[in-house]
Chain A
Amino acid sequence: MIEWRDEGVVLSVRKHGETSVLLEVFTQTRGRCTGILRGGVSRKMAPHIQPGAQVALVWKARLEDHLGHFSVEPLRSRAQVLEDPLALAALTSMTALLTQLLPEREAHSYLYVDTQKVLDRLGRDAHWPLSYLNWETALLEEMGYGLDLSRCAVTGSRDDLAFVSPRTGRAVSRRGAGDWADKLLPLPQCLLGQAPLDYIDIARGLKTTGHFIARLAGELGDKPMPAARDRFLDRITRKGSGPSGEEAGGF
C-alpha cells in the first residue's frame, strides 16, 4: 500500500456515487491530485471541503497509478469570502484556473505558497486584488508563459513602458510601439508596481494576463477560458466603473 501525507487547498468536489466525492486538491509537494473521499457528501464533512478550504490529507492506494482514497482533516475554512461577491468570484476563478491549467501530480511549490497567501488575503486585505493579479502572473510564469516587463522589447529602454506584446509577453514602450500601439495589450502601472491602485487598473492588468491564460488553455488541449475567470473580470470591471464614488476608482 502506498501512502503519503500532505497539506492542500481544495480545488473541486464532485459527487461520486451516493456518499463519496471525487476530491481534487492542490498540494505543496505533489501538485494537483485527485482521489476519492468516502463520506464526502455527509453533513459533517461537506462544509470542510468547500473549494478554497485548507485541509490535511492522507492519500492511500495500492499502486501509484491508482486514483486512491483520501482521508481529510480540516485545517482552515475560507468561508469569509462567501459574503463578499468580488472575493468569492476571485476564489472560484483561482480554483477553476488551477483545475484547468495545472498538470496532475507535478509539484509547483512556489505557486502553492503564493496561492495560499492570496486565498488568505481575499476579502480581508484592501489590496487583495493586486495580490490576485500578481498570482495570475506567477501562474503564467510557472506554466512557462512568464511576462518580461523589465524593458522595452523594441528599444531596450526601461522608461515609458505602456504595452505588452501579445505574441512574446514582453513589454513595449510608447515610442517602441509606434503605429502598432492599437494591436498591443495594455500594460497598466499596477503590473509594474508603480502607480496608485484602482479597480480599473487591475481590470486592465487582468485583460493582459487573460490573453496569455487563454492562449495557454488553448494549447492544453483546446480548453476554453474558465467561465469563473470571465465572471471575476466582469465583476471587477463593473466595480471599477461603478456609479457610486465609493466604488468607482480606488479600493
Chain B
Amino acid sequence: MNDAAREIEALIALMAKLPGLGPRSARRAVLHLLKKRSRVMVPLATAMAEVATRARDCVTCGNIGTAEICDICASDKRATGEICVVEDVADLWAMERAQVFGGRYHVLGGTLSALDAIGPDELRIPQLKARVRDEGVREVILALGATVDGQTTAHYIADELGGLCTLTSLAQGVPVGGELDYLDEGTISAALRARKGL
C-alpha cells in the first residue's frame, strides 16, 4: 500500500467512527469527498480545522460557541430572568430550533446516573446555583428527559434551588402527531393528569 492509499484508509477509519457511519458508508463518504474535492472536501477540511481551533464551551452556560461567552448569554434581550436547564448541547439546540424560549440556558453536561457513577459534582449544578443567585433569576425551567435518570436529576436540582426562585418543568404527555394506541401507559397517565379544559 502506498502512502496516499494509507492516508485515505486512515481517513476512512476516522470517518467510520462518526455517528451514523460504518466502514462501508465511511468509504462511500470519502469517495464522494474525493470526487468533489474542491467544492466539498477542501471547504469541509477548512471549516473543521477552524471549528477545532475556535470552538469552546461558554463559561456561563456550557453551550458551545467560539467566544468565552456564547451569543445567547451575551445578548441583553435574553436576560428575561428565566433559565432553561438542559442535559446537553443537543437539547439546547433543539429548544432554539423551536424558537419558543426567549431566556437563557444552562447545560448540565449529563444526568445523575447510579450506573455510571455520575454524581452532582460531575454536573454543572453548583454553577447553576451561583447563576440563580447572581443573575437575579426568577424562574428555572427544568427541561430534562422524562427518564428515571432525568427526573432524578430534576428532583435533585429542585432540592438544591428550593426557595431561591420559581421552579417549573416541561409538561409530559401526548406528542404532536402521536396516537394513544402507541403510547406507553406512563405517558398516557402523565397526559391524563395534566389534562386541560377546552
Contact = CB atoms under 8 A, between A and B. Distances in A.
Interface of A: 12, 14, 18, 44, 46-48, 50-52, 74, 76-80, 82-83, 85, 88-89, 91-93, 95-96, 99, 226-228, 231
Contact of A77 (B20, B158, B185): B185
Interface stretch (B41-49, B61-69, B85-93, B114-122): B114-122
B152 interface: yes
A91 B184 contact: no
Contacts of A12: 115
A47 B186 contact: yes
Contacts of A50: 147-148, 186
Please name the 10 residue pairs, one residue from A and one from B, whose CB atoms are nearest each other, closest first: A79-B186, A228-B114, A85-B155, A96-B114, A77-B186, A47-B184, A82-B151, A51-B148, A77-B185, A12-B115
8 contacts: A52-B148, A74-B184, A77-B185, A77-B186, A79-B186, A80-B189, A83-B151, A95-B114
Contact of B119 (A52, A91, A92, A227): A227
Contacts of B187: 47, 79
A89 B19 CA distance: 33
A66 B26 CA distance: 30
Given A79-B184, A82-B186, A91 B148 contact: yes
B151 A88 contact: yes
Contact of A79 (B158, B159, B189): B189
A96 B185 CA distance: 24
A99 B19 contact: no
B114 A48 contact: no
Nearest to B22: A18
Most chain B CB within 10 A, of A78, A79, A83, A85, is at A79
A245 to B, nearest CB: 18
B150 to A, nearest CB: 9
Nearest to B151: A82
A12 B148 CA distance: 10
Interface of B (DSSP majority class): helix
Contacts of A77: 184-186
A44 B158 CA distance: 29
A83 B190 CA distance: 9
Contacts of B148: 50-52, 82, 88, 91-92
B184 A227 contact: no
B185 A79 contact: yes
A99 B115 contact: yes
Given A12-B115, A80-B189, A48 B184 contact: yes
A71 to B, nearest CB: 17
B170 interface: no
A122 to B, nearest CB: 12
A226 B184 contact: no
A74 B148 CA distance: 16
A78 B148 CA distance: 10
Nearest to A82: B151
Nearest to B146: A82
